[in-house]
Structure formats: C-alpha cells, structure tokens
Amino acid sequence: MTTTAMTDTAAQAAVLAAATELRLPTLRREAVALAQTAEREGMTYLGFLTELLANEVDSRTERRQQRRIKQAKFPRLKRLEEFDMAAAPSVNPATIASLAEGGYLVKGDPVVLLGDSGTGKSHLLIGLGLAACAQGRKVRYVTVAQLANELAEAADERQLSRLVARYGRLDLLCLDEVGYVRLDARGAEFVFQVLTEREEKASIALASNLPFSEWGQVFEDPRLVAAIVDRVTFNAHIIETGSKSFRLASSGRD
C-alpha cells in the first residue's frame, strides 16, 4: 500500500514537473483528476492521452483568442449573435452571417456600415472584429480620431512609417466613428496613409453616421475625400443600418 502510494506520488510529481517544463498548464492542472476519472471509467491509455491533450489544445486556443481580443482593444464586447435583427430591418441577416464566416478577410474586401447614431453600427463593427479574433486573425479597433492622434504622435517622434506598417499588417482594422469628429489636414493625410497601406491587401471595417456625399465634413480636401471613398468602397460590402435609434427606442421615448 505504502509503495503504491509513493509510486503514485512520485508519478504525479514527475507529470507536474514535465508539464511545467513543457509549458502545458492545463495538463499540469488536470492530469491527476483526469487520470482518476480514466481509471474509474476504464479508459484505455490512448483514450486518456487523447482526452488530456484535447483539453490542453482547447485551453490554448481559448487563451490565444482572449489574447487577440485584448490586443484588439475593443471598448466593449458586442457579439454578432447578440445583435437585434428585428430592430434593424434594413440589415440582411444572411449578409451578416456570410461576413461572420470571414471570406471577405481572405480577399481583403472592405466592409462599410452606414447609419444614424444608435442604429447598431458599432455593435456590428465590434461583432465582426470578435468573429475575426475567433478565427485567429489579428484585429485592432480604433476610432478615426484616435487613429489620427496616434499617427500624429508617431510622426512627431519620427515613428510614423513604422506605425503605418504595423497597421498594415493587421488582418482587420475596425475604424469607428467616421463622421463625428472633423480631422485637420494633417490627421486626414495620416489616416489616408493607413488606408493606402491596406488597400486591396487587408480588410478594413468602417462605421460612419454620414453618407459618402457628406464625408467632406470629416476630411477637408475634396481630392482626399474622393481618394478615401474610392479605397473604402472598392469591392466593399456596404450595410445600411437605417435611421431609427435602438437606444431611443429602448428608452421609451419617441
């Protein structure tokens, strides 16, 4: 009895040490409990090993996904399945479901969400970003004002080209609130550099409360406006979320 107990204890210690050395935290945490379950249920050695490794893979996948979500810097988590399609009749559920599968990311196609404030643009934008994270994509969420400021600071520090290249390497750039803040000429040019860096190579998902004809309120130079619109609409999936605010409706006001 004592010899068997000591052997089991030594085996457990060896498993824990090996799991630590190999950086397998789930195996380290669950090996003993799974071994006990396997013994009770009469699992084969191969079956036990399969279960143990599957748990480690699942855990590692989940950790990677959470890391990608953290790196994306979403202001809040809004998933596509939580979007109220009934409150947005102009949004085609089949289109959203198709985008969620990520085919547009493979082709580098843009997605443009247009609609009034409170109609769900940011929800869909973040939802697409989260779906991309779940597929192993590198994603970053940022408002257009934040992006312009970040690029301006990098330019002041002579790091602009490096930052533009970093934005270019993302699988998906989620650019929100285009239309709420007017950019100065310098900021607009910096944002244009990022769009050009990604053009026809990597996807951008963009949300705006303004129709394209009014983007001159955001970007001062008419030629720059035309070039930006051209870049974000070429092969784009354009989704109109309408004019009826979800937030006003949910507050009980007319």
Summarised one tens digit per residue, pLDDT across range 7-61 is 778 888 888 888 888 888 888 888 888 888 888 888 888 888 888 888 888 888 8
pLDDT of residue 15: 85
> Which ranges constitute the DSSP H helices of 73-201?
93-100, 103-107, 121-134, 144-156, 160-168, 185-198
Sequence-ordered list of residues with C-beta below 8 angstroms from that of 63, at least 6 positions apart, any chain:
none
The proportion of the chain whose per-residue pLDDT surpasses 90, expressed as a percent, equals 64
Over residues 209-219, the mean pLDDT reads 93
pLDDT at 254 exceeding the cut of 50: no
**Residue ranges covered by each domain of the chain:** 2-72, 80-251
| Per-residue pLDDT reduced to its tens digit, 170-192 | 999 999 999 999 999 999 999 99
Write down the residue that tokens 């397998």 correspond to. 24
With CA atoms as reference, report the closest residue to 111 among 64, 49, 176, 60.
176
| pLDDT at residue number 55 | 87
Q: Is the model's pTM score more than 0.85?
A: no
Query: In sequence order, what are the residues at sequence separation of 6 or more whose Cβ sits closer than 8 angstroms to the Cβ of residue 159?
Result: none
Alpha-carbon distance values, 111 to 9, 32, 221, 253 (Å): 57, 48, 23, 31
**Cβ-defined contacts of 222-226 (< 8 Å, 24+):** 224/188, 224/189, 224/192
Q: What is the per-residue pLDDT across 74-90, written as a single tens digit (0 to 9) for each?
A: 999 999 999 999 888 99
In the predicted model, is pLDDT for residue 107 greater than 70? yes
Q: Tell the CATH topology of 80-251.
A: Rossmann fold (3.40.50)
Whether the per-residue pLDDT at 69 is higher than 90: the answer is yes
- Does residue 68 surpass a pLDDT of 90? yes
Rg (CA), the chain: 25
Over range 208-214, report the average pLDDT. 94
The string of pLDDT tens digits covering residues 160-169 is: 999 999 999 9
